[in-house]
Structure 1
Amino acid sequence: MYKTDLNFKQFLSSINKCYSKEYQDKLPKLNDFKSELFGSENNLSYDRLIEFVKKTNNVYLKSVSLRMLAIINIQNAREKEKNLDIEKTWELIRESIQILPKECTISSIGSQGFLSIPLFKYEEEKTHFDFIRLHIWDEDLSKYIDTEKCEKFSIHTHSFFAESWPICGKVINDRYSAKISDSKTENSLFTVEYNKSLNEVNQHTSNAINTGKDVDLKQISHEVHMKGSHYQIDAGKYHKSGSIGENGISATFFSFTAENGLVNQSYVVGASDIKKSEINRKMYIDPTPFLKKISKEI
């Protein structure tokens, strides 16, 4: 059984909102899911959902159901502190994306230089915030990236506790200490201000704004994570992500949860002589070739 603080309506909504806006009317609604899927106390049955997926011919219903199974895997691994079955979860996500027109998938590059695909997002209550994404690094993405800007604003914190489960390649996680300095330094803290008129999942434009607070920056660790490993980043702690996949590609499932840690403000570290820098996440990039490369690596 799948038991969560969210009811099924909220669970479905949190998955549907991670498909592109143009296809929302094609996605399944509550009454598309049969009552037999639910057991005692209205809990969703994982095994019954698997059988439901096998029988349905509607590709949109199938895609959302596959994604539900994958999200349940990730949430269970996270909440029960157990290993995530990477192959099984990856196949669920890969199929959920590839059985639909490519435009159904929200797929964009953010300020950190990786391709980000949202899979699940619950944001109605900040204290229960839950956001799960697929992150992909690949050498073929370099043509879309302002590498200089990425490097200048690569060190950052998150408002929420974060966890990562690498799928393939080698994912880098460098941790930093950033302490406020009374004297002028090369680095300052920046806040990120979003354009509220574009408040869609992974479709923000935003600006990094210099706070005027200079910091002494020091790297405190360098981690290399591969398939089968798992790492965590506390809310408010500074880090930088990257990849050194031998065949050009690395990927991970990445989770943000408020219930495991929450701070009021996140920051980005940037050059102190910069006052403002625009960050744009509006670009759509076809994920299909990258999904094929990941499957080949697995």
Structure 2
Amino acid sequence: MSSSLKQVQTIISRINQSIIGQEAIVEKIMVALLADGNLLLEGLPGLAKTRAVKSLSKELKVSLSRIQFTPDLLPSDITGTEIYQPDAEQAFTFKQGPIFANLILADEINRAPAKVQAALLEAMEERQTTVSGKTYEMQPLFMVMATQNPVDQEGTYPLPEAQMDRFLMKVIIDYPNPESEKQLLRLVRNEAKGAVQTEEPFEQQLIFNARKEIQAIEVSEAVEQYMVDLVFATRRPEKYSEQLAKWIDFGASPRGTIALDKCARAVAWLRGRQYVTPNDVREVIKEVLRHRMILSYEASAHRVDTDQVIDEILQVVAVI
């Protein structure tokens, strides 16, 4: 086991002490960071979506910006703007917005209109933003973690498909079990007493070292074909199942295949292996594909969601 893997596992263990009962979610957040992607967290209010992001920022020496999306938010509130200073040598100086940080928490991203959401697009995909014709680079370690609430949809703006596709993963947070909730109560009491100790955060270089090791993870031709077949089944469902053909209107883009490869390699690395298995692919396929498909009216009428469609795809697509 490499030193980078040991340190990353330590980070995951520390976050799990702060986010009780959400071990699978914490690992998916780390997978997204290791795979150098952006993450969309969806869950009901009070399920520690924001806390999860903040807990990650405490374990690494990184800057964190929190943007509360509201209907009156402007694009310049995210990217920054040029300010006129008549006494300065340069009359206009650029004041950076909150997007210029390592970790960006876009809280309730679906509360702002599309024009504001689009301000994130260039930064998320190109790792740069353009203001008044000038391009500004993002930090080398950069990740957008957006949250959204699946209920209380009045006054919200659904994310455009183009922006959804730029999220590497969509993670759904559910309620903790009763035992975890009891531990959560004790944790909150201890935090109120100041009895919870904080550990020294790790350097950013740890993540870059881990990413180099993940790049070296081997993917066999059979696993490559398996990933391609899974994504292809979302585009040509009629070749695999009559039921799938009724459920899917539009399938995943090539970004889905690339994301599946990145995340599967990150999972294999976390498991201490130098190669990807089909189980690694299956472990992340729902988070990678659930936001990249558009289901039919018939699927909606029968209350079939994307996770059920992916379960069906896993049943009909064979491993070579």
TM-score, length-scaled by structure 1: 0.28
The structure richer in helix per residue is: 2
TM-score by length of 2: 0.27
**Structure with max Cα Rg:** 2
